[in-house]
Structure formats: C-alpha cells, structure tokens
Amino acid sequence: MTKLNLGSHPQLLGFEQLERLLERTARNDSSGYPPFNIEQTSGNSYRITLAVAGFSEEDLSITVEDRQLVIRGRQSDDGRERHFLHRGIAARQFQRSFVLADGVEVTGARLENGLLHIDLKRVEPEPVVRKIPINNRVGAAGSRKGEDANE
C-alpha cells in the first residue's frame, strides 16, 4: 500500500503545510496526562480545559508557537521533605500541544478549582473575490510572425 503524499497530489495544491501539521500531531506526546476536554462554546468559540490539580499559575506556561498551542506545567519544589504513604496526585511536569487551524486565536486563559481553561475563537476572514483577467497575447518570445510583441 502506498502512502498518500498530499504535496504531490495534483488536485491538492498548496496543502504541504497540512501534511506537516498531521505529521507533527501524530508525533505529539499522547501520554494522557493531564486529562483534558475540548468543547465548542458557540459557533466560532472553543474552550480547552485541562485538569491541573496542584499546579499554580506560576507553574504553568501557555505559548503559541507556529500555530501550535503549547501548555507546559512544572511544579516548583517547595523545599520540604515529605514522606507519602500513598501518592495518587501526579506531580510531574508535562507538555500538551494542540495544533490550531488558520484563523483560530487564543483569547484568554484562567485557572480555577484545579482546572485550566483556555478560550479560543475562530476569526472569520472577509470573503475576497478577485477577477483574474485572461491574457490572449503571446509574449515576445512566442510572438507571431508580423506582429509586434508590444501591442
């Protein structure tokens, strides 16, 4: 079975970036930590919610890098020596990435009750209609005999 290469398919012009995005998403860490939800809050708005119990605002970092939303968490060591009888609350660092479509922007983030909410909005571009003229002239290199190429 041959692999479909989007960049070489004759009817998919300019979709090379889509192929790179799909490959980057497939390589993304799928460890399952921290768990998250994605919900559509309105026609053009979305919310990603991550369960980050035990993390403070200072422990979290949210960036957008090349149309990729990256959330990183690293708990700071409080310097206390602890002896756990049972440790069920994860305290490890994480990185969770989401690929954003063209026109999707992060509008805000907030941390409440151990949940990190990141709000996104799709900005609808203005429809652009452009008329393409049809040029029937043959260039100077291909001009017909007896015709001036500058006409």
Q: Within a domain: residue 134?
A: no
Q: Within a domain: residue 12?
A: no
**pLDDT tens, position by position, 30-66:** 568 899 999 999 999 999 999 998 899 999 999 998 8
Is pLDDT above 60 for 29? no
0.85 exceeded by pTM: no
| pLDDT band (50, 70, 90) for residue 110 | very high
**Predicted pLDDT of residue 151:** 45
**Tokens standing for residue 90:** 């994860």
What's the mean pLDDT in 61-78? Answer: 88
Is pLDDT above 90 for 2? no
**How does the average pLDDT of the chain come out, rounded?**
81
- As for how many domains the chain has, the answer is 1
Q: What is the dihedral of CA 5, 9, 15, 19, to 10 degrees?
A: -10
Q: Within a domain: residue 37?
A: yes
- Provide the CATH number for the domain around residue 121: 2.60.40.790
Q: Within a domain: residue 26?
A: no
**Predicted pLDDT of residue 84:** 84
Bond prior to 127 in cis (omega within 30° of 0): no
**pLDDT tens, position by position, 76-104:** 766 678 888 998 877 789 999 998 988 89
Q: Within a domain: residue 92?
A: yes
Is pLDDT above 80 for 145? no
Residues 6+ apart with CB under 8 A from 115: 49, 50, 51, 52
Q: Within a domain: residue 46?
A: yes
Residue 70 lies in domain: 31-76+88-125
Q: Within a domain: residue 9?
A: no
CA distance 116 to 48: 8
Q: Within a domain: residue 52?
A: yes
**Predicted pLDDT of residue 18:** 66
